[in-house]
Amino acid sequence: MTQRLNYSQQSADLLKKFMDFSLALRDGAIEPRLRDLVNIRVSQLNGCAFCVDMHVKEAKIHGESELRLYHVAIWRESNLFAPKERAALAWAEVLTRLPEGGVPDETYERVRGQLSEKEISDLTFSIMAINGWNRVSIGFKAVPGSADKAFGLDKAGLN
């Protein structure tokens, strides 16, 4: 597979701003391992191979277990995720798939019961960002693993 165009060249200023936004999320209230799980799940839902590849490697670098990585796709049936993680994954799914009629109160109350308002707000911006990256990567056919060295993902040992 070959990338369709070099968006980092064509839209350098926009890419820099979006990257700055994404990097700013690292200073937010969501811890890296939870953000990794959300990034993986959203990327799975959207079918973004580049982002699934990238965020699995990041999660591995952040100390995530392989079994939990395998279970992200089946998190509802798995007993490996804490209530806070389950709430964040449910929030990520509903904001990614936006049901007709909006986000159900039950889903909001579930996340509200596990995360602070600051965490919910930061998580929502994080979900917004990964959905954006998925669309760029899918639209331009970003090649999985092609940025590993640039992002230090080769340290994950998952080549």
- 9: pLDDT strictly greater than 90: no
Average pLDDT over residues 124-142: 96
Greatest pairwise CA separation for the chain in angstroms: 45
The pLDDT score that the predictor gives to residue 154 is 85
Token pair in block for residue 22? 């994404």
Average pLDDT over residues 95-102: 96
User: How far is the C-alpha of 87 from the C-alpha of 120, rounded, in Å?
Assistant: 10
- Closest to 145 measured CA to CA, from 46, 49, 35, 33: 49
The pLDDT score that the predictor gives to residue 149 is 87
User: How far is the C-alpha of 37 from the C-alpha of 33, rounded, in Å?
Assistant: 6
What domains does the chain contain, in order, with CATH numbers?
29-145 (1.20.1290.10)
Token pair in block for residue 82? 């804490």
Token pair in block for residue 34? 């939870």
The pLDDT score that the predictor gives to residue 146 is 87
Query: Residue 28 carries which side chain, given as an amino acid letter?
Result: G
Alpha helices in 25-155 (DSSP H): 32-46, 49-61, 66-71, 83-97, 105-112, 117-139, 148-151
Confidence band of 152 (pLDDT split at 50, 70, 90): confident
Query: Residue 110 carries which side chain, given as an amino acid letter?
Result: R
Average pLDDT over residues 123-131: 98
- 151: pLDDT strictly greater than 90: no
Average pLDDT over residues 26-52: 97
Query: Residue 20 carries which side chain, given as an amino acid letter?
Result: D
17-44 burial code (b ≥16 CB/10 A, e <16) = eeeeeeeebeeebbeeebbbbbbbbbbb
Task: Look up residue 116 and give its DSSP letter.
Answer: -
The pLDDT score that the predictor gives to residue 94 is 98
User: How far is the C-alpha of 1 from the C-alpha of 137, rounded, in Å?
Assistant: 13
- 47: pLDDT strictly greater than 90: yes
Q: Angle CA(45)–CA(146)–CA(26) in degrees, nearest 5?
A: 60
Task: Look up residue 124 and give its DSSP letter.
Answer: H
